[in-house]
Chain A
């Protein structure tokens, strides 16, 4: 009788444990150690929030964050910077890491992002859709084709047949956004998440053609880690329901 009760309690515990797991952070025992996460600049807000939640769920861990453009991060990683996790803003830069066999396990796609038109508050040039960006009377700033946001811009441009004549091709989304918030440009092409993060400084205009270039964000644990358990747990956490909620709130899509 007593044994049965113990079993019942144990089963009950196991059941609640299972039920709670998808919503909670995956707590793989008592995790301990500190890791450094290299994440794309566009993940600054979300990953700062994710780390706060992760550290709260795993008190024995500390997570340091290093944000930069994905290709900068790849350069730093391949040159031997101490990183345990790499979150890239595109698959191309992730491939550089996997090609160099620096990863531990396969990369996991954890978010997507699409382009949106950003205009200064009040929309002085009266932009309504993607086709309005054509022509020389609109001061348009986009990313250079060499960087992920520029590659996405070029893909949308080609698919839509609209001929863009930008006054500047910047090296990063931040630089494009800066030209729009300062009012120098009538419009810029940035990611949905950048428009949300910029708050009242810009207005966002969605357009149908953005579906032509969906940017996928992969994350991977790196091989040369002092705390591989923590690194793996963080990757799992980002892909978990709790992690996905933080990303969705910031405007990211699910892959």
Chain B
């Protein structure tokens, strides 16, 4: 099953560089763990502000992930299964938040949904104010996380091809039936791993949130913002919370790998 079977193996020098690369990622994590004040760890991460930030982060990231799925699946389908003028340009633009500095994303969101923004102005007239609310956090997270879902799902859609869908259609299934019974089950693992990636990205979102949503305990101060703030007065708390964030991220990524490779999940749809 392993792709390395029957292959002589990678050259030693490649493996050596790979080890350096792995250390580059792992050493800073280890350095952080070594700075954790274990004696006060439980007290630091269970303080009222810490718990409130963690819960807010989990809640908003979950909402952002749902929003990513709702918006991202149709986007991936359109990008992978149809051809139209300007498609390449559109794909590049949709993936822009991936490479954009989050602060830039935050400024862009501010000019869109802010009180004097493109859409925000009309919303404000209707009595809807997004800035400084939890909604703003979710919008910022969705903005930066959406490309992850679109990217992984579109890739999977292209890889599985359209053969089964064509067969289904010739047997009399309508487009929606084909989508529900054939396409989505085929790409379910990619959908799961894409969603989890989006969730992880939303969980770590900092720049756009800070710029667009502000920072208030229980409303907009997510875990990364709390870490940033705690660093000012209590580096111990900041390190402890950073570790919590790393652990949550590792667990989430682990689940993604499990779920992505589990067959029974496909049958569920």
Contact = CB atoms under 8 A, between A and B. Distances in A.
A53 to B, nearest CB: 32
Contacts of B215: 144, 168-171, 175
Contacts of A147: 229, 232
Interface in A22-72: 69, 71
A170 B214 contact: yes
A75 interface: yes
A71 B215 CA distance: 19
A178 interface: yes
A182 interface: yes
B116 interface: yes
Nearest to A166: B216
B232 A178 contact: no
Contacts of A167: 132, 214, 216
B204 interface: no
A29 B245 CA distance: 55
B131 A146 contact: no
B121 to A, nearest CB: 10
A183 interface: yes
Interface bin, chain B: 20 to 34
A110 B215 CA distance: 32
A171 B210 contact: yes
B147 interface: no
B158 to A, nearest CB: 41
B115 A184 contact: yes
B214 A168 contact: yes
Interface string B245-258: 00000000000000
A173 to B, nearest CB: 13
A225 to B, nearest CB: 25
Interface string B217-236: 10011000100111111010
A139 interface: yes
B132 A171 contact: no
A184 B229 contact: no
Residue among B110, B214, B221 with most chain A CB within 10 A: B214
A179 B221 CA distance: 16
Nearest to B131: A184
B114 interface: yes
A233 B28 CA distance: 38
Given A146-B230, A168-B132, A168-B215, A184 B114 contact: yes
B211 interface: yes
A141 interface: yes
Contacts of A168: 132, 213-216, 220
Contacts of A75: 231, 235
Nearest to B116: A183
B116 A182 contact: yes
Closest 5 A/B residue pairs (Cβ): A168-B214, A167-B132, A146-B232, A146-B233, A183-B116
Interface string A139-160: 1010010110000000000000
Interface in A194-212: none
A195 to B, nearest CB: 20
Contacts of A178: 211
A182 B114 CA distance: 8
15 contacts: A69-B232, A71-B233, A139-B132, A141-B132, A141-B214, A146-B229, A146-B233, A167-B216, A168-B214, A169-B215, A170-B214, A175-B211, A183-B114, A183-B116, A184-B115
Nearest to B221: A169
Interface in B13-51: none
Nearest to B132: A167
A118 to B, nearest CB: 15
A176 B225 CA distance: 15
